[in-house]
Amino acid sequence: MTTRHSDALVVFGVTGDLAHKMIFPALYAMVKRDKLKCPIIGVAAPDWSLADLKQRVKDSLEQAGGIDNKRAFHDLVSLLVYVSGDYNDPATFTKIKETLGTARHPAHYLAIPPSLFPTVITGLGAAGLAKGARVIVEKPFGRDLASARELNKVAHAVFPEDSIYRIDHFLGKEAIMNILYFRFANSFFEPIWNRNYVASVQITLSEDFGVKNRGAFYESAGCLRDVVQNHLFQVVALLAMEPPAVREYGAVHVEKAKVFLAMRPLQPDDLVRGQYAGYRKEPEVAKNSDVETFCALRLFIDSWRWKGVPWYLRSGKCLPENAHEVIVELKPPPQDLFEDSAPATSRANYLRFRLAPNSAIAIAARVKRKGKQFVGDQEEMYMVEEQSGEDSPYERLLSDAMAGDDALFTREDAVEAAWAVVEPVLQSPHPCRPYRRGTWGPKEADDLIAADGTWHNPKLSDLPT
């Protein structure tokens, strides 16, 4: 595996929203931490000047919280170069090659629509810009299994697998990384982390806003492709994987891929799709759109550890809270010694990972009230993880990619295995069900989980902020 550090960063789509919202603040943070000193070559179609790009960077940083280090800002903009051109024109890649000068190990970051990935990757190969280089590809990596395989085929025709970095910013979040650490750094959960003691697992990623100005993108993706197949599946893999055989991330990738391979392919009745009221009136949304802005699904992992345990995943827009959390619900004690601990009157013990907007872990256990009666309440014990000064996901992932560290990136086999799980419901799913803004989705989502209880709806007041 190539471990040399990239000596240039080429950002395709540098004038786009992703660069403005996420990439520029990450690059600024990298410069402040002395992690970035190489040229940054922005590539896009608009006929901009370098001054235009520098102003765009300044606007981005001011909106992201302000410029608190003028020297770092000066250093950042001094690294910038701009190349304007059409991605379909070989002359654009010739200009990039000339601009790179003596750089021999660039990292090419594709912050562009997925439909342009093959065009740019092929252009890089034809221009001789792939040798000794890396390519960083934004999700979604494909729209289904066939397109993911085709994209992998295109990428492998130009880059070796260890030079392809499939970026999912969720994997760069501190709280997500802590799932892996918490599971395997502590021995007290391992004996119960299996089908014998876990009744079900719930994962919720809720957003309290709509598609905003991303109607055209959402029409091409939908919630299942945009969030569940990648973000939520990655969380499932970290929760469900077996311990890696050795202390290196290649072994982690192997175990995560095994989880996807063990997932039972979804069927239409395993999935509830919803659409919030008013979605069809959003800009660039079809008047008769059946694209889901919410989905809930029931998933099974047919492995020795998890056989028979239902995993419930849901995500959606215009829900009551902006939150992301995991609930691992345990089976109740084998005998109801106390009247108030019967399943009909109380919820079983559980472990909760709060992943956003704040980070924390909570364990729920029943505690007796004062008095002679054996009556109690379920209380949560908190382990708050939030720390100041954490790297942002994009800062961490871009730094890792440029350093040749693929630990937090997704591998080819895992991508294709995850698409294989959702493939059966991509073509002929049940129609979308309407739901009101500010609710937890259509009622059919409650019916989906009814056999195993109810959804645990995140409340931002549940854990310390």
Asked if residue 39 lies in contact with residue 6, where contact means CB atoms within 8 angstroms, the answer is: no
Q: Does domain 171-452 have CATH number 3.30.360.10?
A: yes
pLDDT at residue number 345: 54
Side by side, which strands form the sheet with 134-138? Answer: 80-84, 40-44, 8-12, 106-110, 134-138, 164-167
CA distances from 303 to 243, 352, 368, 401, 427 (A): 14, 23, 37, 32, 27
pTM: 0.89
d(CA 158, CA 123): 9
d(CA 459, CA 234): 23
360-368/350-356 β-pairing: antiparallel
- Domain 8-138, CATH number (from 1.20.1560.10, 3.40.1160.10, 3.40.50.720, 3.30.420.40): 3.40.50.720
pLDDT at residue number 166: 92
- Which residue in the list 20, 105, 108, 231 is annotated as catalytic? 231
pLDDT at residue number 341: 63
Judge whether 8-138 and 171-452 match in fold.
no
pLDDT at residue number 406: 84
Strands (E), 90-218: 106-110, 134-138, 164-167, 198-206
Residues 6+ apart with CB under 8 A from 452: 199, 200, 310, 312
pLDDT at residue number 2: 45
Tens digits of per-residue pLDDT, 105-133? Answer: 999 999 998 889 999 999 999 999 999 99
Domain residues of the chain, as ranges? 8-138, 171-452
pLDDT at residue number 384: 72
Query: Residue 90: enclosing H or E segment and its boundaries?
Result: helix 90-100
396, two tokens: 């961490």
Q: What is the DSSP string of 371-425?
A: SSS--EEEEEEEEE---TTPPPHHHHHHHHHHHT--TTSB-HHHHHHHHHHHHHH
pLDDT at residue number 439: 97
Other C-beta atoms closer than 10 Å to the C-beta of 415 total 26
Q: Which residues of the chain have pLDDT under 70?
A: 1-3, 337, 340-346, 385-390, 460-465
Based on the residue annotation, tell me whether 456 is a catalytic residue of this protein. Answer: no
The tokens 């440029």 sit on which residue? 402
